[in-house]
Amino acid sequence: MVDECVYLNGEIVPAGEARVSVFDAGFSHAAGLFETLRAYDGRVMRLEEHVRRLTHSAATLELNIHVAVDAVAEGIRRLLDANRLSDARIRIVATPGVVPRPGQLSTAAHPTIVMTASQVQAYPPELYKHGMRVCICPYKQNPHNPLAGHKTLAYLPRLLAMGEAAQRKCHEALWFTTENRLAEGSICNVFIVKDGVILTPPVDTPVLPGTVRQAAIELAEKLSIQIEERPIDIEALLSATEVFLTGSVLEIMPVTSIEKHEVGRGVPGEITERMCSAYKELVARECGLDEG
């Protein structure tokens, strides 16, 4: 068994030897960002989009973090080689590094960049065949929270929501805003189907602009399925004939029940199945899986 290695500020080091300062902004203030990516046969799905989202969030939240696509791509290649992985779940964590404490003068910025790679823990095939059960999150997403719509290290509310969902024998929790608009799942984006039209909350709800969310929008257009980004309330959600979730590891996942409410006929719908198949084909094309 290979000892796990991680990428830390340009170096590949054994995980047990990786060191980050206790004064790092990510540790002391949860001031930082992360990205979860999926590698298929050594190729990362839509790496540029992930890095672009991270750098956009860093600029918006005024975090002194700079990452370049080429550097990240090379770091991931070295990381996968060191861990002897080809199909992997990759996580990038980026913080502003050590920040001045009260009374200290500002120093030159030295961001902390950590990347990890692990074997993909795939969701059970039965879930894709029969669909997930989800619940309504007991917490609310505040549109006025400056962190909303960004993938930050302040992730405890999402973990609490996932724990609550598990206690209720559900796989995910759907978040609504304080204005009672559907936002997203704890770790994914949400789509519904009504009258043959795919609907998803607009980015300014706010929701995370997921890379698979964007891929799903592109695929629907390519499949000539009408798709719209517009506000969704609880009535629209519960009257949907299909619901599906999107995420880098999740890919496209059907939802067949919302707590005790059955979605549609209680089985993955035709449009969802078309989207699932189209996404698998997209991954094969973009990651070169069909070249062999």
Label residue 104 by pLDDT band (50, 70, 90).
low
Q: What is the pLDDT of residue 211?
A: 98
Q: Which domains does the chain have, with CATH numbers?
A: 5-119 (3.30.470.10), 125-286 (3.20.10.10)
Stretch 247-264: mean pLDDT: 98
Label residue 191 by pLDDT band (50, 70, 90).
very high
Q: What is the pLDDT of residue 122?
A: 87
CB 264 within 8 A of CB 104: no
Alpha-helix residue ranges (DSSP H) falling in 144-233: 156-167, 211-222
Mean pLDDT (the chain) is 95
Buried b or exposed e, range 238-265, using 16+ CB within 10 angstroms: eebbbbbbbbbbbbbbbbbbbeeeebbe
Q: Kindly state the percentage of the chain with pLDDT values over 90.
A: 92
**H or E segment at 151?**
none
**Residue 117: is its pLDDT beyond 90?**
yes
Which of 99-103, 176-180, 190-194, 243-247 is predicted with the least confidence, judged by mean pLDDT? 99-103
Residue 168: φ, ψ to 5°? -95, 15
Label residue 99 by pLDDT band (50, 70, 90).
confident
Q: How far apart are CA 241 and CA 63, in angstroms?
A: 42
CB 73 within 8 A of CB 118: no
Give 43-48 contacts, CB < 8 A, sequence gap 24+: 43/286, 43/287, 43/288, 44/73, 44/76, 44/90, 44/287, 45/211, 45/248, 45/283, 45/286, 45/287, 46/211, 46/215, 46/286, 47/72, 47/73, 47/76
Label residue 105 by pLDDT band (50, 70, 90).
low
CB 36 within 8 A of CB 91: yes
Q: How far apart are CA 78 and CA 242, in angstroms?
A: 41
Stretch 140-150: mean pLDDT: 97
Label residue 1 by pLDDT band (50, 70, 90).
very low
Q: What is the pLDDT of residue 106?
A: 60
Q: Who wins on pLDDT, 274 or 3? A: 274
Q: How far apart are CA 251 and CA 216, in angstroms?
A: 10
Stretch 269-279: mean pLDDT: 98
Residue 47: φ, ψ to 5°? -60, -45
Q: Kindly state the percentage of the chain with pLDDT values over 70.
A: 95
Q: What is the pLDDT of residue 3?
A: 86
Q: What is the pLDDT of residue 118?
A: 97
Instruction: Name, in order, each residue with C-beta under 8 angstroms of 61's C-beta and a sequence gap of 6 or more.
Output: 33, 146, 147, 150, 152
Q: What type of residue is 51?
A: V
CB 72 within 8 A of CB 90: no
Label residue 107 by pLDDT band (50, 70, 90).
low
Peptide bond preceding 100 in cis form (omega within 30 of 0): no
Q: What is the pLDDT of residue 2?
A: 63
Cross-strand partners of 118: 89
**Residue 237: is its pLDDT beyond 80?**
yes
pTM, entire model: 0.95
Stretch 128-134: mean pLDDT: 98
**Residue 202: is its pLDDT beyond 50?**
yes
- Cα 85 to chain centroid distance, Å, stands at 21
CB 90 within 8 A of CB 117: yes
